[in-house]
Amino acid sequence: MRIDLTFVLISALSSSVNSDVFTLVSEKMNWTDARSYCRQHHTDLVTLNDRTDMDELLQSLPSGLVSLMWIGLYRTDEYFPWVWVWSDGSKDLFTSWDPSQPNNVDGVQYCVCTSPKGYWSDWWCTDKLPFLCYTKKRDR
């Protein structure tokens, strides 16, 4: 069974970023299937542009959902230095890596997930995780 939990980021100052609708899909999928799902039903896997985006997203997460979640960040580079890119083509340089990440365990961690604490880890793309999609608004 698929459970979609949609929530809208609410901010006193409405900005174009905050007008995007974020959707947490709790059904676990690998990164490529998650991206396909987001592109089919929403816009793409989520892009996080800055700390405010990250903080507001975390504050919007229903309590009790303690899990790693796919975001739209990934790389195709095999060799260091890796260039991380957003699935939707955004070029923003904001990152929120956990202090010990990215560490490329087994040499195959090409995708990125976030934790409810807001730190990112590179992760095995084949792993099945819940994920975050966003729906773009016209003014973005």
Ligand X SMILES: *[C@@H]1O[C@H](CO)[C@@H](O)[C@H](O)[C@H]1NC(C)=O
Q: By CB under 6 A, name the binding residues for ligand X.
A: 30-33, 125-126
Start-to-end CA distance of the chain, whole Å, equals: 32
Q: Which is nearer to ligand X, 32 or 104 (CB)?
A: 32
Distance in Å, CB of 32 to ligand X, minimum: 4
Q: Which is nearer to ligand X, 21 or 85 (CB)?
A: 85
Q: Which is nearer to ligand X, 28 or 136 (CB)?
A: 28
Judge contact between 105 and 118, C-beta under 8 A.
no
Distance in Å, CB of 46 to ligand X, minimum: 18
Judge contact between 134 and 22, C-beta under 8 A.
yes
> Reduced to 3 states, what is the DSSP secondary structure of residue 114?
strand
